Amino acid sequence: MKRNAIGIWRCKGCKVTYAGGAYELSTTVAATAKITMTRLNKLIQSALNPVEQVEDDKNKKKDQKEARP
């Protein structure tokens, strides 16, 4: 990644342009927002599909028990 201007970053390999921080590609505020959005999306999905969520939790617990030595 190379900075083109303040807050504008461009990948040399794939030619994709990103908006980011002035001197760093990612800022702490952006990271916090991303984590919060991910958490809220999981919460929404669990509210919309409670049966699937319960099954997923059971499968995770089963996998964790099998992974133990």
29-50: per-residue pLDDT in tens? 989 999 999 999 998 888 877 6
Counting Cβ atoms within 10 Å, is residue 46 exposed (0-12), middle (13-18) or buried (19+)?
middle
Cβ pair 18, 25 in contact under 8 A: yes
Residue from 56, 63, 29 nearest 42 by CA: 56
CATH architecture of 2-62: Single Sheet (2.20)
- Greater model confidence, 13 or 55: 13
> Cα-Cα-Cα-Cα dihedral of 42, 47, 45, 28, to 10°?
-30
**Tokens standing for residue 16:** 């994709």
Residue at token pair 């908006």: 19
Domain ranges (residues) in the chain: 2-62
Q: In this predicted model, which residue has the larger pLDDT, 7 or 49?
A: 7
